[in-house]
Structure 1
C-alpha cells in the first residue's frame, strides 16, 4: 500500500523531535511493507540538506484566526462540490491530486492539537477531510491534545477524531480529554510518542550503541568516549523561556546546570532541538547566553540531524530540558532527566512522557525554581538537585526495566495501524494498551513534593495531596460562556497552582455556566466551585458573594472577560510575601482591544494603560480610578478595616474599594505588565464592557461616590475649605479658559492671514503658468514656420 504520512517536517527551523517522529514513523511503515508518500513543508531539509522522495507540500494554513478559518471554510466548499470556491492555482487542488496517489493517510505526531498552535489543528483537519472525500482511511498517531483549547477548537478536534478510524494519543491527559470531547468514538487509545525507537538504545538492540554511563562520578568512566555524549549532562532549552523574563530564565538554568555538574562531574553539552541549520537562532541563541553564565565548561553543539541528536540524548547520563522530546528520549535511554516545563502545555506533555516510563509526578515546573521577588533562582534548586542525584541509581534501574516493555508497546501500536490500513475492522472491542501499561511510582521524597506542590497541577503530582489555597479567585460572570471558558483556562494556566476558584453566576444561564465548568473540573481537581445567584444585584454583590464563600488569605477578582499573564499570581504573591506591610499589589496593565467572531476572539491592538503611572498613590486615584480588578491582588484582612464592596454603588464599587484601601493601606506596584484588560469597543449588550455599554451609570454613580465623600468631610470640617477650593478652582479654570479663548482667537487670525497669503501665491503661480503656456505656444508656432 502507498501511505501518505503527514508530520511537521522540512521547515526552515529544523525541529529534531518532529523530524524524529517522521523518520521513525516512515521506517515502521516501510518495515510493514508500505510505500511512504511524505507530506511536509518542503521549505528546508535540515543539516543533511536532502529532500525526501517521494513527497509533496502540506496544506499550510495562515496563522491568523480569521484567515485560517476562512481558508478552512473554502476547502469545505470545494470538497462539497463548489470547485470555484478556491482559484485553480490554489495549493488545495494540487494537494488533492497528489493525495489520490495514496491508499491511506497517517497523521503523525509533532505540533500538538492545541489552540496554542491552532493553524496546525486546522491543517490536520483539512487533510483528513480531503482524505475521507477520496475514500481513504485515516489514522491519527502519537498526538497530544490541548490542554489549551477554545470551545471552537474543541469542535474541530471532535470532527477530526470522528474522521479517524484509529486514534493514538501519547499521554493519559490527552486520552481523557479526547474521550470527553468524543465520548462515542470506539478507538481512542493511549499510545506512546512515535519518536521512540528511532535509534536503538542499550538493551533494545545487541548491536546498538552503548547505554548511558549513569554513574555519579567523573565523566569518561564506564567506557565513555570524548564528544560522543556518553556520561554527559545534556541540556536543551526552549528558545525564549516564555512566560518568564528571559534574563531570569537563563539565570535559573545556569544555577541548575552548574549545580548538577558540580554534583556529578559530568561534561556539559548544550544540545539544540530547534534551530535554522544555516543561520542558527532559536535554541542555539539561548544556549550561547547560558554558556556565558555557566561557571563550568560547556560545549555549545550545532543543530544535528534527528538520528544524531536522538542518539546523543539517549547516550547521556543526565538530561536537563525545557523541551519535550529530550525528556522522552532521555528517559528511554535511562538518563536522570530533569524536566522543567514552562507552562500548562509543557507540563501536560512532559508529565505524560515520564508517566509512560513509570515515573509519577516527575516534572519540576520552572516556576518552582524561580524567585520573582529576587529575580533569581529559588531556594528549591538545591533540594531538587540533591534528590535527583540521590535517587539516580534506583531510578536508572526502573527506567532500564521499563525500556523493553515501552519499545515493545510502540511496535505493537504500529502493528495495529498496519492492520487498520489493510482493512481490519478496528472499531469495536479493542483493549486499551495504556502506553506500555507501567504502574507509576512517585519520584520525589514526600517532603520535597510538598514544597513543589504549590507550583504543580494536582493531576501531575506523584501522590494525592491536598494543598491549602493561598489565593481565592472570585470570577464574576453573566451570560458569556465563551469568555468564561477562556477565563477559567487562564486560571488553570497560572504558574502558581495553590488557588481556589469560585465562579459567581450573576443570575445568568446556569446550565451554560455548568457546561463550561464541567469541561475543566477534572483538571481543576477540587479547586473549582460555583455560586448560582437567582437575582442579579450588581457586580459588587457578586464580588461579596464570592468573598464570603472563600477563605484563602489572598484575594483576586478576575472578571470573565479579562486575563492574566501566566505568572501574575506568582509574582504578585511573591511581592506581598516580600513586603508584609503592604496590603495589596497592583501590576501594570495592558489594554487589549478585541472583537468576537464565530471562530473565537481576535485581538485588534494592545497598548499600556496609564503608562505614566509608576506607583499606586491616593492623589492619582482621587482624579480617576487607575486600575481594574484584574490588576490587583490583595490581602483578605484588609476587608476587616474597609468592609466588603459597597453594593449601593453599581459599576463603581471597585473604585470605591480602591479609594478606601488607599486611605488606610500601602499598596505595591509591579512594572511588568501582568494584567490584560480586554475591551470590545464595538460590542453591545453582554458582549461589551460596562465602561462603554453602561457609560451613563458610570458617570452618575461616580458623582454619587464623590458627593458622599464630600458630605462626609464637610460634616466634620464644615464647608469652608471645599467652598474656597471650589471658588479658587473655578476662578483658575475661568482664567485658563479666557487665556485659551485669546490664544484660539490669535491662532484664528494667523490662520486667516496665512490663507490670504496662500491665495495670493496661488494666483501668482497661476499667472506664471499661463505665461509659461503662452511662451511654449509661441515657440511651437515659430518652429512650424521654420519647417
Structure 2
C-alpha cells in the first residue's frame, strides 16, 4: 500500500499550524501501522520529510491563482494525469504526478478544510482526487469539515470528489448530513487526531491552557481581546495559573511572537493576573499540554480535540458558524456543551465556573465514551487502508 496523502503541512518561516500537522501525522501513523508507505504533499517538502521521515512532494501550484486560472490549471493537471497533456519541467505538480505512478491510493486528509473561504484547498484536493481517478487510483477522504460556506461551483467540485471517493470521513454531524446529501458514502466519527500519541510531559502544577485564534469574524479586536482577558483573569482565580500555547505560531522558544502568539501577547497585556507562554513546538507536545490541563479555554479547534477525550473541561469561543460547528462537534462527541459566542463573553465567567464545578462529571463522561470512540476510530482506519490498498 503506497498512499499519496494531502493535508496542509509544512513549516514555513518557523511557523507551524499544529492542528493541520496533527491530522496528517495521525493519518501517517495509522496507515504505517497497517503496512502502508505514505508520501505527503507539503508546502515545505524538505522540512516535512525530515519531520516525519517520509517521502514528500510539493503542492500543486494553486496558491495565489484567480479562480478562472485555477479552473484552467485543474483541467490541465487532470489531462496530464490521463496522459493527454505534458507538464513543464519546473511545474510544481510534477512531483505529485510522478508519485501517482507508484500510488495504490490517494488520501485527502484533514487540514485546509473545504469551504469557499479557502478556494486554494478546494482546488488542490478536488484536483488531486480527479487526477487519481484519471489513473484509476482509489481515493478516500478523511477528517473533514465541509462548508458551511460553499458557493455553487465549490460545492459541485467537493460533492463530485466525495461521490467518487470510496469513503468520506467527517468529524461532525453537520458535515455528515451535507456529504450524505451529495450521495457520498460517509463515516462520521471523532477527529483523526483525537488519539495522537503524546510525546512529552506538561507542566507539573495545575494550569489553565489557553489557545486563541485571531479570527474574530469582523468584530473589533480591542473589544474581543479585552473580553477574553477578563475571562482568563476569572479562570486564573477559579482554577489556577494560565498558560498560553499558540497552535499557529513559532516552533522555537524565544522566537518573535507571530500568528496566534502575537494575539496571546496582546491578551496577556490586558490581563490583571500573571500568565506564562510556551512555544508552539509540535503536535505531540501540544496533545500532552491539552490533555493534562485542568481547564481549556480555546477558540482553536485542535486543542479541544486533544483535551476532550481526556475529560478536560473546555470553554470554546466561537466567532461564526464555521467555528461554532467545529467546536460543538469536537465537544459533542464527548458530552460537553461549553461553547459561547464572542458576542457573549460577558457570560463566559459563569460558564467557566460551572465547567470547573462539574469537572469530575465531565471526566467520567469522557471515560465512559473513550473505548467506543477508540474502537470506531480503529475500524475507520482499517476501512481506509482497505480502500487504498
Structure 1 239/49 Cα, relative in aligned 2: closer, same or farther at 3 Å?
farther
Distance 1:234 1:152, change over 3 A: same
> Per the alignment, in what secondary structure is the counterpart of residue 248 of structure 1?
helix
Report the secondary structure of 1:394's partner residue: helix
Alpha-carbon distance change, 254 to 49 in structure 1, aligned in 2, over 3 angstroms: farther
Q: How far apart, in 1, do the equivalents of 2:269 and 2:342 lie?
A: 20
- The one-character-per-residue Cα deviations of 1:447-492 (angstroms, maximum 9, x if unpaired) are xxxxxxxxxxxxxxxxxxxxxxxxxxxxxxxxxxxxxxxxxxxxxx
**Correspondence for 1:232:** 207
CA shift for structure 1 position 49 = 6.8
**Secondary structure, counterpart of 2:4 in structure 1:** strand
Contact 2:248 2:260 in 1 (8 A): yes
Match of 2:105 in 1: 104
1:251 corresponds to? 226
Aligned match of 2:73 = 71
Confirm whether residue 341 of structure 1 aligns to residue 339 of structure 2. Answer: no
Deviations along 1:596-638, whole A, 9 cap, x unmatched?
A: xxxxxxxxxxxxxxxxxxxxxxxxxxxxxxxxxxxxxxxxxxx
Q: 1:313 aligns with which of 283, 290, 299?
A: 290
Corresponding residue for 1:34? Answer: 36
Deviation at 1:355, TM superposition (A): 1.4
Give the equivalent residue in structure 2 for 1:285. Answer: 262
- Secondary structure of the structure 1 residue equivalent to 2:187: strand
Distance 2:22 2:111 in 1: 9
Equivalences for residues 1-150 of structure 1 within 5 A? 1-12=1-12, 13-42=15-44, 45=47, 50=51, 52-63=53-64, 64-79=66-81, 81-83=83-85, 87-150=88-151
Contact 1:317–1:334 (CA under 8 A) maintained in structure 2: no
SS of corresponding position for 1:357 = coil
| Cα distance between partner residues in 1 of 2:45 and 2:95 | 17
Deviation at 1:322, TM superposition (A): 0.6
By how many angstroms is 1:190 displaced?
Answer: 0.8
In 2 relative to 1, CA 130–339 (structure 1 residues): closer, same or farther, beyond 3 Å?
Answer: same
Q: Quick one: structure 1 residues 51 and 23, their matched pair in 2 at CA, closer, same or farther if it must change by over 3 Å?
A: closer
Q: Indicate whether 1:403 and 2:370 are aligned.
A: yes
> How does the TM-score come out when normalised to structure 2?
0.92
Q: Which residue of 1 aligns with 2:275?
A: 298
Instruction: Compute the displacement of 1:251 (Å).
Output: 0.6
Cα contact 1:40–1:58 (8 A) shared by 2: yes
Contact 2:235 2:349 in 1 (8 A): no
Deviations 1:264-300 (A, max 9, x none): 2x12100110014365400110111111111221111
Deviation at 1:357, TM superposition (A): 1.4
Instruction: Give yes or no for the alignment of 1:366 onto 2:342.
Output: yes
Closer, same or farther in 2 for the Cα pair 1:413/1:313, shift >3 Å?
same
Unaligned runs of 5+ in 1: 201-207, 211-226, 370-377, 423-787
Q: Secondary structure at the match of 2:178?
A: helix
| Mapped contact 1:3–1:106 kept (Cα < 8 A) | yes
3-state SS of the aligned residue for 1:83?
Answer: coil
In the aligned structure 1, how far is the partner of 2:309 from the partner of 2:44? 30
| Larger relative contact order (Cα-Cα within 8 Å, sequence gap ≥ 6) | 2
Instruction: Flag the 1:72–1:209 CA change in 2: closer, same or farther, 3 A.
Output: closer
RMSD: 2.3
Residue of structure 2 equivalent to 1:271 = 245
- The CA deviation at 1:167 is 0.9
Helix, strand or coil: the match of 2:318?
coil
State the 1:191 CA deviation. Answer: 2.2
2:154 corresponding residue in structure 1: 153
**Does the CA contact (< 8 Å) of 1:239 and 1:285 recur in 2?**
no
Q: CA deviation at 1:52?
A: 3.9
Larger radius of gyration: 1
Q: What is the CA deviation profile of residues 406-448 of structure 1, one whole-angstrom value per residue up to 9, with x for unaligned ones?
A: 22221121111122223xxxxxxxxxxxxxxxxxxxxxxxxxx
Aligned to 1:326: 303
Shift of 1:51: 6.6
Hey, what does 1:689 align to over in structure 2? none
Structure 2, unaligned runs of 5 or more: none
Question: In 2 relative to 1, CA 306–420 (structure 1 residues): closer, same or farther, beyond 3 Å?
Answer: same
- 1:150 Cα deviation after fit: 0.4
Equivalent residues of 2:81, 2:132 under 8 A apart: no
What's 1:427 paired with? none
1:720-748 deviations in Å (ceiling 9; x for gaps): xxxxxxxxxxxxxxxxxxxxxxxxxxxxx
Matches within 5 A, 1:751-766: none
Q: TM-score, normalised by structure 1?
A: 0.47
Aligned pairs (5 A) from 1:644-723: none
Q: What is the CA–CA distance in structure 2 between the aligned matches of 1:99 and 1:72, rounded to whole Å? A: 16
The alpha-carbon distance between structure 1 residues 71 and 196, as it changes in their structure 2 partners (threshold 3 A), is same
> CA deviation digits over 1:8-35, x for unaligned, max 9?
1014231111111111111111111111
Q: How many residues align?
A: 383
Instruction: State the shift of 1:240 in Å.
Output: 4.8
Residue 417 of structure 1: aligned partner: 384
8 Å contact kept, 2:5–2:38: yes
CA distance in 2, matches of 1:229, 1:121: 42
Mapped partners of 1:78, 1:36: distance in 2? 23
State the alpha-carbon separation in 1 of the partners of residues 318 and 215 from structure 2. Answer: 13
